[in-house]
A = this chain, B = another copy of it.
Amino acid sequence: MSYKVGIVGAGFAGITLAQELAGASRIEVELIDRRNHHLFQPLLYQVAMAGLNPSDIAIPIRKLFAKVKNVQVLLGEVKDVNISKKQVCMDGQWRRYDKLVLACGAKHDYFGNSQWEPLAPGLKTIEQATEIRRRVLTAFEMAEKCEDDKEREAYLRFCVVGGGPTGVELAGAIREMATVTLKEDYKQADLSKTEVFLIEAGDRVLASFHPNSSKQAEKSLEELGVTVLKGEPARNLSVDGLEVGNQKIDARTTLWAAGVKPSSLVNCMQVSQHSSGRVKIEKDLSVPGHPDVFCLGDMAYLENDTGEGLPGMAPVALQQGKHLAKNLKADLEGRDRQPFHYFDKGQMATIGRSRAVAETAGRQFSGLPAWLAWVFIHVLYLLRFRNKMFVLMQWIWGYFSFGRGARLIVQKKWRFYGGEDIQYLGSENESNNEKQA
């Protein structure tokens, strides 16, 4: 007997599972992703904040499995799935597997206001990160050449919606970038006047952390000059800003870090979903009623032993990937599958240079120790040595020079082909390689 295992999604869950199955006898793996790179998402905000290059945290999937014979990497988009037949439809073609693993992650949720998406980009992909970078740096440029005081203030005012780790990290980094890194580069605009609003609908930031950590994070944010607004959701987003409570914030730049929902692939699955939209799964990580179909990571909903839903975090995905590899091998050898238990090592969030909060084993700590722990753990987990080395170097460099290495405003598509008067490239059809894609 042998298995053909199909894995959709090369995030933390999919990559880990494929790595654990690498070299396993009687197992053939197809790993499908619509990107050619695995993204180290915990550091994505550093790309958005011009501290890192995209390629520092994006690892070619193919490279990871270059020497692995039983893992095939496919670049393609899965748009439909039939879990009864264990099939997925990639680029119009159905592919069948013995074991099907769906690990497609999550995307941003605008809570029914999808018209806000262009106004306030989220941070899930490299493209979104460079778009956020473009908007933030462009806002400073606009402030520099703006002659109206009120308008300049609006360009120097930023809203970040959502007080989770990403929102906290973005808000802190914008203030820090404006007041430390870029300050002296601008001669007309006074970047020290940059205002950053962090808008959290709940009653504290970092709601998944201990209240002590939330308090510490709010204190650090205020020290950095971020205004934290709690208890009211953002309303009426427009190009001119947004409303919170009875306050109107006139800001030209808004970023979204408020909510996530699982990949739209769940809508093709006809399975029972948690209120978050995530697929409810069994303890062995399979989809109820479909013992050979599995769902992992941010796409899946599973409760821990105390009845709380597991958070959509990298460690959960990593551990699930590892665990499923064991269960698949157990299947092959006729042994019983084991239930998944999440081992919670703790969590951490960073708020600018040398500020962070972390908690592990019931204890909270903050400040420089937390920040150093954060640096250490993130570098440790960056998969390849090459990436580790470069990220560490850029950080060390940035720490001492207060510089930002990747301050690039990359223009949008209409300038892809360079001429100043060429804007005809909106259509996908004109692109060469995509013709038969």
Q: How far is the CA of A264 from the CA of B34 in the complex (A)?
A: 38
**Does A426 have its Cβ within 8 Å of any Cβ on chain B?**
yes
Q: How far is the CA of A36 from the CA of B419 in the complex (A)?
A: 17
A135 CB contact (under 8 Å) in B130, B185, B433: B433
Residues in chain B near residue A363, CB distance under 8 A: none
Q: How far is the CA of A403 from the CA of B64 in the complex (A)?
A: 12
**Does A54 have its Cβ within 8 Å of any Cβ on chain B?**
yes
**Does A414 have its Cβ within 8 Å of any Cβ on chain B?**
yes
Which of A18-26, A115-123, A286-294, A328-336 is the contact stretch? A115-123
Contact B55 A405 (CB under 8 A): yes
**Does A96 have its Cβ within 8 Å of any Cβ on chain B?**
no
A408 CB contact (under 8 Å) in B126, B403, B428: B126
**Interface readout for A102-114 with B: 1 if CB under 8 Å, 0 if not?**
0000011000001
Number of A residues near B (Cβ < 8 Å) is: 96
Contact B408 A253 (CB under 8 A): no
A138 CB contact (under 8 Å) in B72, B144, B433: B433
> Are A74 and B127 also in contact (CB < 8 A) when A118-B431, A137-B36, A432-B239 are?
no
Q: How far is the CA of A264 from the CA of B420 in the complex (A)?
A: 8
A411 CB contact (under 8 Å) in B60, B127, B407, B418: B127
Residues in chain B near residue A66, CB distance under 8 A: 184-185
Contact B435 A239 (CB under 8 A): yes
Q: How far is the CA of A75 from the CA of B142 in the complex (A)?
A: 8
A418 CB contact (under 8 Å) in B127, B403, B407, B432: B127
A63 CB contact (under 8 Å) in B55, B77, B185, B436: B185
Residues in chain B near residue A345, CB distance under 8 A: none
Contact A75 B145 (CB under 8 A): yes
**Does A380 have its Cβ within 8 Å of any Cβ on chain B?**
no
> Are A432 and B131 also in contact (CB < 8 A) when A121-B417, A142-B437 are?
no
Contact B107 A58 (CB under 8 A): no
Residues of A1-60 whose CB lies within 8 A of B: 34-37, 53-56, 58, 60
Closest 9 CB pairs of A and B: A413-B413, A75-B141, A118-B430, A62-B185, A55-B406, A53-B53, A66-B185, A60-B407, A36-B409
5 contacts between A and B (CB under 8 A): A74-B144, A118-B430, A127-B417, A128-B416, A135-B432
